[in-house]
């Protein structure tokens, strides 16, 4: 899942960022083609961007928004982490729909005459300006999600945290960084408290069976849970993983004392 830009983002996030910037530049090039009256090349350039972006929306952006932002609407919109992403998604949807509409009018005869516009330049200029606003909001989203490191400790689930008693084993630490738990697999004796410490980004710690669950933990925050009973406890980050060990997940094996 690790990206390639050195920011701690996922591979998909880094890939989407570069493709979005490339598409924005392609739209500017398409405008240049139109001014040179190369309308056929202009049509293919702009239409390709619209269709490619549609693929990126459904493969990367919609799943990410559904997992990381949608559950926090509207309660967490006061937090820029969620607010910028929500504005980006809203304006991005408008930009894509407008772009597809312009493409249908300019490049096909599918729409009836009453739904077609005749002045192309104002519509296309508005679309280009909106697209670049969306790109800038996308850069803001990337910054808040993968570069900014807000401090503080998120609230922990009531009853989920305990302090080790005098006979308990020493606490064990799991580090959360770069969209993974380190160590991913951990074996401890019953009575041990495990402390998850977040070093990068926002994450959660949630057992597959629901036996423990943290709220969202920001960088610098922590969550802890005492394992009193032997057993195997797979867990995951519900922002970047799923039950069953998918993507950002780990497992705690508790042995009898």
Instruction: Report pLDDT for 150.
Output: 53
1 CB neighbour count, 10 Å cutoff: 14
| In the chain, % of residues over pLDDT 90 | 68
The domain spans of the chain are 11-147, 172-255
Give the model's pLDDT for residue 239.
Answer: 86
Give the model's pLDDT for residue 153. 40
Per-residue pLDDT of 113-155, as tens digits, reads 999 998 899 999 999 999 999 999 999 999 988 887 554 443 3
CATH of domain 172-255: 2.60.40.420
| List of the chain residues with pLDDT < 70 | 1, 149-168
pTM of the model: 0.79
Looking at residue 81, its pLDDT comes to 86
């Amino acid at each position: 899942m690790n990206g390639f830009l050195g920011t701690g983002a996922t591979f998909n996030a880094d890939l989407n960022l570069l493709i979005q910037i490339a598409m924005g530049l392609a739209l500017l090039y398409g405008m240049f083609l139109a001014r040179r009256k190369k309308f056929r090349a202009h049509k293919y350039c702009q239409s390709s961007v619209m269709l490619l972006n549609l693929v990126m929306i459904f493969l990367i952006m919609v799943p990410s928004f559904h997992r990381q932002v949608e559950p926090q609407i509207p309660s967490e919109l006061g937090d820029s982490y969620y607010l910028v992403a929500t504005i980006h998604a809203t304006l991005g949807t408008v930009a894509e729909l407008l772009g597809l509409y312009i493409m249908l009018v300019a490049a096909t005869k599918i729409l009836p005459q009453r739904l077609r516009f005749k002045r192309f330049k104002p519509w296309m200029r508005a679309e280009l300006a909106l697209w670049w606003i969306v790109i800038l909001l996308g850069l803001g989203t990337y910054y808040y999600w993968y570069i900014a490191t807000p401090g503080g400790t998120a609230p922990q689930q009531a009853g989920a945290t305990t302090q080790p008693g005098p006979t308990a084993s020493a606490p064990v630490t799991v580090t959360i960084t770069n969209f993974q738990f380190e160590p991913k697999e951990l074996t401890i004796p019953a009575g041990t408290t495990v402390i998850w410490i977040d070093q990068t980004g926002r994450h959660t710690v949630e057992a597959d069976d629901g036996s423990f669950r943290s709220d969202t933990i920001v960088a610098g925050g922590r969550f802890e849970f005492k394992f009193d009973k032997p057993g195997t406890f797979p867990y995951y980050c519900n922002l970047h993983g799923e039950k069953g060990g998918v993507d950002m997940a780990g497992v705690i094996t508790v042995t009898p004392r």
